Chains A and B, each alone.
Chain A
């Protein structure tokens, strides 16, 4: 039932269709490629027969890189065909096994990403491309001349090519327009890399599978880019991850990462995934290209941050802010505004090696404090009261939190000393006449049996300090 126009009435579509059919298709695919595909299919069938459940992440890390198709096929059959999608109450963790295992066995991947921020200054989106080469290398490219506007309306430019090698614990950041490079070496790097790295995504999904996150919800089916997908939402601490995978193949289609309490409101979207494509290893080289100037070489301690790191961050920010502590902790402008202004005042608005070096050093030094803040969960009952407070103001608590609900508060004072204090024992002389700090908290209850957290109450807390200095913490 195919109808065609006669030559007299042929239009562009007919010409294109005719051109399609008359293409000279070369012989192929190569015999060795077909042999590999066949081997992969046989292996996958055997794996399914044996009902193998494998720790795919460990297997993958130990594996020879030439075993690519075999592993992809194994994952698809072990993960994809045998388990139905389950409702959260029935066993989302079981359904998540499919996704976790499919992710863990990816050999290469490319995807597009966008970083969307929303602040009082408006919305901004930065688009880029990423590539992943197992087991531990990533490359991230952002367009040249990316600027992040700040409150004063001036701008900073961000490095536009970043290459990470987590196994070597090194990375380089290149800005092609200015030919500047930054070299970073990491100590105590976490197993899963930076927060929007592919390995971090793999780890987050793996943790969800093992019940090591706060919550996993099934988002149901959705059509994305013409494909039927199934979605999950993973909540862990301050991070939320939504992930959609192809209903049939369980391959990634879209990922959204959100830092829930960070300001400006930030969301990272990963899309257009291509899995197990050929990638040139030179794309992931840590050699600084010829013609580039290395503006900084930094050593970063990537160990789990502590309260001391927050104190250090407060000091650094205050030093670039006329001695005043930041207004908020989860606010990019509060943390970076002072250093940006002082660098512009000193070096001008244009990018320069000196400015880039200073920014890199500042970022490296406050990064641990920022990570500490982002790691705080509702049960830590953290409070920040440093807005407008001058560094070294005597006996003035500016931050307090509980490492665990059963412990006393750990308190940072304006002189950046840290003390262990029970709520009722905070020094009354240090407190202003009356202060009320109101925070909203979501109260969750974690089941000792299922390890899942459910929201039992959304509550508003008030921390009141009366004129006698007595502190009361009330839940509305």
Chain B
């Protein structure tokens, strides 16, 4: 029998933070949190879990991506956030906070548009900081395959976000 209280105490914050960062609002993050642990229950029934943080991060990312896709499919691609994520840009001026928030929201939109595997690999490696090996174990991919998928995802996201003028280029 799994000690779920221990699991939630130790690893609940991983799920919460991943869900909140991916989704940017409280209600969706709660929804995602609940779904992730119910899914984890099913995983435990089939298999022994050796790496809870990796499993939970993967489940949280996957379910958050589902919610993002549903969100943007329902509302059109440019739904404004009900409660904008607080993003601190590298520069402290308020206008740069707003710009960074907009760019982050664009990233969410484009992640929802990516093919599922690319979106998951990019989110887990780049956004959540997992290693290629960890991601490969969870997604049943070799490390080289993870690298290839990641490159494709990056290329596509760069193209899609290229219309947003990056802060660093403004001085030129």
Q: State the A residues within 8 Å of B (CB).
A: 1-2, 7-8, 10-26, 28-29, 33-34, 37-38, 40-42, 44-45, 48, 69, 72-73, 76-77, 80-81, 112, 129, 225-227, 248-249, 272, 274, 276-278
Contacts and interface: CB of A to CB of B under 8 A. Distances in A.
B131 A274 contact: no
A20 B127 CA distance: 7
B77 interface: no
Nearest to A278: B27
Given A28-B26, A37-B37, A81-B46, A15 B103 contact: yes
Interface in B1-56: 1-2, 4-5, 8, 12, 16-17, 20-21, 24, 26-27, 29-31, 33-35, 37-39, 41-42, 45-46
Nearest to A9: B168
Categorize the interface residue count of chain B: 35 or more
Contact of A226 (B21, B65, B157): B65
Nearest to A48: B45
B103 A23 contact: no
A12 B41 contact: no
A33 B101 CA distance: 28
Interface of B: 1-2, 4-5, 8, 12, 16-17, 20-21, 24, 26-27, 29-31, 33-35, 37-39, 41-42, 45-46, 65-67, 69-70, 73-74, 85-90, 100-101, 103-104, 106-107, 115-116, 119, 125-127, 129, 131-132, 147, 154, 157-158, 161-162, 164-168
25 contacts: A1-B147, A8-B168, A12-B103, A12-B158, A14-B166, A16-B106, A20-B127, A21-B127, A23-B24, A26-B20, A29-B16, A29-B29, A33-B33, A37-B8, A37-B33, A38-B8, A42-B4, A45-B1, A72-B38, A76-B38, A80-B42, A249-B38, A249-B42, A272-B70, A274-B67
A409 B10 CA distance: 72
Contacts of B20: 23, 25-26, 28
A12 to B, nearest CB: 4
Contacts of A20: 21, 104, 107, 127
Contacts of B66: 225-227
B37 A12 contact: no
Given A19-B104, A20-B107, A29-B29, A38 B5 contact: yes
A19 B26 contact: no
Nearest to A44: B41
A22 B88 contact: yes
B168 A7 contact: yes
A400 B41 CA distance: 57
A254 to B, nearest CB: 12
